[in-house]
Amino acid sequence: MLYGNGKIDGREEMDINGKSAIVTGAAGGIGRATAVLLAQRGGAQIALVDVNEAGLAETARLVEVAGARASMHRLDLSDIAATEAWFRAHGDVDILHNNAGVVSGLPQFPDVDAARIRWIVDVNVTSLIAATQIAVQAMKKRGGGVIINTVSTVALGTGFYDAMYATTKAAVMMFTRCCAPLKDECNVRVAGMLPGLVDTPILDTTGAGGKSEWMKTVLANNEACKPEDIAGGVIALVEDDSLAGGDWVAVRRLDGQIAYQWGHADTV
């Protein structure tokens, strides 16, 4: 059962209706699709975080059409001090979707300078850990919550084209699994969403001014998901309170069908 409110088959289901949420990387792609679906599922207040203000405005419009209140927040997640300050001010929510992410682009490791390495680590990992830490403290006080981290199937060891990207996503996967005990300790369930290939603007940032040659090969050999496919999986992770902490789901498209691969904190 992917969706539903109340108890289904004896399982506890988080009811998104009336809940507050933060979605990072909400200006497009997976973040926009998740924000809209949270609103369609009855979410009351969605805080949209991104560096892309035009994209944020469009997502806010779509979220409000779907029936939720939207707030837009321009926040550069590579600025860790600003990220910590923002989450201290706004991080008291029921649902946090840590979704923003970047790829290395060109040049790749090892021909990349230290500032660029620091940037991808800070956007993909350091800010996510800071956001989670602050949100968990607030969720503890409100009695619980759900945090979904967007990882990638590269964390399963299936993609080594972009060394720094794969390394940061493996770190997010391990962090998500290490957060498993928070469910029993303070009713905060942290889960991982592992998208396979998804048709979003990030693919156009792999090369110089467009798709890299390796991304063109990946696209030629794999079916791409739609952002909505991934958002559906995020909602499933949010709603299913019977899941253990640290659980994850990989979402891919195979022969036109969406394929789910479920895993647990102690399995990869």
Ligand X SMILES: NC(=O)c1ccc[n+]([C@@H]2O[C@H](COP(=O)([O-])OP(=O)(O)OC[C@H]3O[C@@H](n4cnc5c(N)ncnc54)[C@H](O)[C@@H]3O)[C@@H](O)[C@H]2O)c1
Among 50-58, 60-68, 139-147, 183-191, the segment contacting ligand X (CB under 6 A): 50-58
3 is known as an active-site residue: no
- Interface pattern 164-193 for ligand X (x via CB under 6 A): ------------------------------
Shortest reach from residue 1's CB to ligand X, in Å: 25
Shortest reach from residue 234's CB to ligand X, in Å: 10
Among 62, 106, 202, 259, binds ligand X (CB under 6 A): 202
Residue whose CB is less far from ligand X, 173 or 198: 198
60 lines the binding site for ligand X (CB under 6 A): no
Residue whose CB is less far from ligand X, 27 or 134: 27
Shortest reach from residue 258's CB to ligand X, in Å: 14
123 lines the binding site for ligand X (CB under 6 A): yes
Give the whole-angstrom CA distance, residue 49 versus residue 82.
12
Of 15-34, binders to ligand X (CB under 6 A) are: 25, 27-31
200 lines the binding site for ligand X (CB under 6 A): yes
Residue whose CB is less far from ligand X, 1 or 254: 254
| Residues taking part in catalysis | 165
Summarize as ranges the residues that interact with ligand X (CB under 6 A). 25, 27-31, 50-52, 55, 75-78, 99-102, 123, 150, 152, 195, 197-198, 200-203
